[in-house]
Structure 1
Amino acid sequence: MINRILFNRTSHIHLMVRVKSEEELVEFLKREKNLQGFENLGGLVSQRLSNLFNAYTKAFNKMYNRKGSLFIPNFNRKLIDSDEYFVRLIAYIHNNPIHHGFTSHPNQWPFSSWHAYVLNKLTRIKKEEALLWFGDVENFKTIHREINVEKCIQLFES
């Protein structure tokens, strides 16, 4: 099933990553003694994400005996600068499999953080922090149901 999804459809991934404050990153780099080669912290974050995707691609290619790129080459990042943008982005990410015709409801997509928010499962996702923005789980579900996905596509894919 994974092969069919990744290779017969547009292959892309959406991640929302909270980057620590500049002070926290500088302290981390001092502990790691790894300040060389980065004129700015944005370069550090991009490099770490690049390393993550490269390692994943190598492991996936080895597992499925294939070669080459796994993801669309363009890497985009966008600053979340408002509460509304944050809420819409989470709902957009969880509704993306519906938009692309993989499922008809976020519950049906097994590769999503949706389940971490609506089920009482142990996870490394800081779901309590994110749910504060929605109020509670019921409001989280309501916003996901009522979000205008087409409007979000214009906002996030342009």
Structure 2
Amino acid sequence: MPSKKIKTPLEPGKVYHIYNRGNNHHRVFFKDSDYSLFLEKLSKYLADYCSIYAYVLIPNHYHLVLRVNDDLEVNELSNQFLKFSLSYTNKINFEESRNGSLFLSHFRRIHVDTEDYLRRLIFYLHHNPTKHEMIKDFKNYPNSSYKSLISDKPTRLARKNVLKLFGTKEEFINYHQVLHNEAIIKKYLFDEGE
């Protein structure tokens, strides 16, 4: 029976945690330029369909937080997501001389239904590289949205919406200074065997 995390429809006006990982836990990013390629494809295929609040790209998986545009049909974003995933996979397969699926066959999606959960989730994404012991201080990780959200440089992220959720940029930074209880959102994360 397919998981609710695969079958949940992407409905207009709602916020979702979307994530996926490489088949058999294999890498989905092979070199530094792959992270930029992923973000370029993400912007190309999804920017007109949703607002991207946050992301983190880890060598064998990714997490996104996004809000589906109000004017879309149910699952219209899912169709675009498939195009995005296939485009990225085809480019990586060509560059890495590989064949087949790069990601698990279905991306996971979880409806984010409260502002508290959304704040904790954004922190969780940004803290993910430290959790996986890839870097000591997540604020220095180059493949997450943290630096873009606190920067004044142009971005495709929904920076104003995210910072407003925390109050101000300073409150956003302060929120990220405290280690939050992961157990509160643990039930929403990868299931064993998924």
**Alpha-carbon distance in 2 for matches of 1:4, 1:149:** 32
Query: 1:46-65, aligned counterparts within 5 Å?
Result: 46-65=78-97
**Alpha-carbon distance in 1 for matches of 2:141, 2:98:** 25
- Is 1:138–2:185 an aligned residue pair? no
Structure 1 residues 30-63: Cα deviation after superposition (integer angstroms, max 9, x where no partner) = xxxxxxxxxxx12x22221121111111111212
Partner amino acid, structure 2, of 1:3: F
Give the gaps of 5 or more residues in structure 1.
27-40
Per the normalisation by structure 1, the TM-score is: 0.76
**Alpha-carbon distance in 1 for matches of 2:128, 2:105:** 19
Instruction: Please identify which structure carries the higher helix content.
Output: 1
- Is 1:86–2:118 an aligned residue pair? yes
Decide which of 12, 15, 20 is 2:69's aligned counterpart. Answer: 20
Partner amino acid, structure 1, of 2:96: Y
Structure 1 residues 13-44: Cα deviation after superposition (integer angstroms, max 9, x where no partner) = 101111012xx125xxxxxxxxxxxxxx12x2
Q: Which has the higher contact order (CA 8 A, sep 6+)?
A: 2
Partner amino acid, structure 1, of 2:63: H
Structure 1 residues 36-92: Cα deviation after superposition (integer angstroms, max 9, x where no partner) = xxxxx12x2222112111111111121222223322344211111111011011111
- Is 1:66–2:113 an aligned residue pair? no
- For 2:152, the equivalent position in structure 1 comes to 120
Change (3 A) 1:149 1:50: farther
Give the gaps of 5 or more residues in structure 2.
1-28, 35-57
2:120·2:180 contact (CA, 8 Å) conserved in 1? no
The percent of aligned pairs where both chains have the same amino acid is 30
**Equivalent residues, number:** 138
Please tell me whether Structure 1 or Structure 2 has the larger radius of gyration of its CA atoms.
1
**Alpha-carbon distance in 1 for matches of 2:185, 2:117:** 12
Instruction: Please identify which structure carries the higher strand content.
Output: 2
Per the normalisation by structure 2, the TM-score is: 0.63
